Structure formats: C-alpha cells, structure tokens
C-alpha cells in the first residue's frame, strides 16, 4: 500500500462539505446516512474490521470510515489505488449484518450518487429504489465533483464492474 495513502487521515473537502448535511431518513423513503466530521481513527478502524470479519490478524489501513447508516453499517473509502489520493479511492459500504457493496468509483462520483438521492447503503444494495434528486446536494456536488454528473445507477454499475470481486475479497478476510 502506498505510504501516503496508508497514513493519510485528512478529510477531503468534498467529505467535509457532506459532513455538514443533515440527511432526512423520511421513514425509510429518504437517505439513511449519518456522515462523520472526521475519519475514524486507525485504531478504531482496525478494531472494527477485526470484529466485523472475526479476523484478528487484519489491519484497517485500507479503509477510511466516514459515515454510517442507522443500523450501524459503515461507509468508507477503500484505499486500493496505489499512488492515488483519498478522493480517487472507491467508496464502499459494509453493513451491520455482513452486507458489502461498492458505492462509487471515487469520491467525486459519490457526491453525485448522494445528489441523486441515494445513501451508501441504498446505492450498494437497493436497486429497486427510485432516484430522489436533491437540489442542495446537486449544488454541493457541482462545487466539489471533478467528474461529470451521471445517474447514480450508472455510477454504481460502473464501479461495481470495476471492482467485481469486492464481495468475494471481503468474504476471504472473514474467519
């Protein structure tokens, strides 16, 4: 793993902006996402990953946890692109019941997913959900995104194709 990435815990500007947003759950019809104002510490991430997988030999360097859903599932940047900054890393979801999924190929695409009305859990796992565009989040995305606006389903499908083995890779870590 790239040393710059493995130790970088500075919140990218787009995540700092997302952290200021209050997401409306709307009795299950809205977005179930609670963004953090900073990444979990390396120690917290390692402890959580070891408990979640049952594998005490893991380290948490590959993840930067930046939010959760109401059930305790976590949204994170997955640091798998060596030499690339945090905002170029894919966004993943790891659910409280063992669900996993790719949300977006990078942080820029993630803010477009949010603008389309999908939180991390909904984007990774709920394909039946209809988009619910949010004008304030679209404005946030326009200020921070470096990628063009696209529908959330297109972003998620593209990222899931790029990281098609993610679920299997995570399963292989579990004991």
Q: Which structural domain range is residue 120 located in?
A: 3-167
Instruction: Give the rounded percent of residues in the chain with a pLDDT score beyond 90.
Output: 87
Look at residue 119 and tell me if it is in a domain.
yes
pLDDT per residue as tens digits for the range 46-57: 999 999 999 999
Q: Is pLDDT above 50 for 2?
A: no
Look at residue 64 and tell me if it is in a domain.
yes
Look at residue 172 and tell me if it is in a domain.
no
pLDDT per residue as tens digits for the range 128-146: 889 999 999 999 999 999 9
Look at residue 173 and tell me if it is in a domain.
no
Look at residue 125 and tell me if it is in a domain.
yes
| Number of separate domains in the chain | 1
pTM: 0.94
Look at residue 175 and tell me if it is in a domain.
no
Q: Is pLDDT above 50 for 1?
A: no
Look at residue 152 and tell me if it is in a domain.
yes
Which H, E and C letters describe the chain, residue by residue? Answer: CCHHHHHCCCCCHHHHHHCCCCCCCHHHCCCCCEECCCCCCHHHHHHHHHHHHCCCCCCCCCEEEEEECCCCCEEEEECCCCCCCHHHCCEEEECCCCCEEEEECCHHHHHHHHHCCCCHHHHHHCCCCCCCCCHHHHHHHHHHCCCCCCCHHHHHHHHHHHCCCHHHHHHHHCC
Look at residue 174 and tell me if it is in a domain.
no
């Amino acid at each position: 793993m790239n040393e710059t990435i493995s130790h970088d815990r500075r919140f990218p500007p787009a995540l700092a902006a997302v952290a200021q947003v209050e997401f409306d759950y709307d009795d299950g019809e809205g977005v179930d996402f609670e963004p953090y104002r900073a990444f979990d510490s390396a120690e917290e991430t390692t402890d959580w990953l070891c408990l979640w997988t049952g594998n005490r030999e893991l380290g948490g360097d590959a993840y930067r946890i930046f939010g959760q859903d109401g059930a305790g599932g976590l949204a994170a940047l997955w640091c798998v692109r060596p030499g690339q900054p945090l905002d170029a890393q894919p966004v993943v979801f790891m659910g409280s019941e063992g669900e996993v999924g790719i949300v977006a190929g990078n942080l820029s695409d993630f803010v477009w997913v949010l603008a389309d009305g999908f939180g991390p859990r909904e984007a990774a796992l709920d394909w039946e959900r209809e988009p619910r565009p949010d004008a304030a989040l679209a404005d946030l995305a326009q200020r921070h995104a470096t990628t063009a606006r696209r529908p959330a389903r297109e972003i998620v499908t593209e990222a899931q194709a790029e990281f098609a083995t993610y679920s299997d890779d995570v399963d292989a870590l579990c004991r």
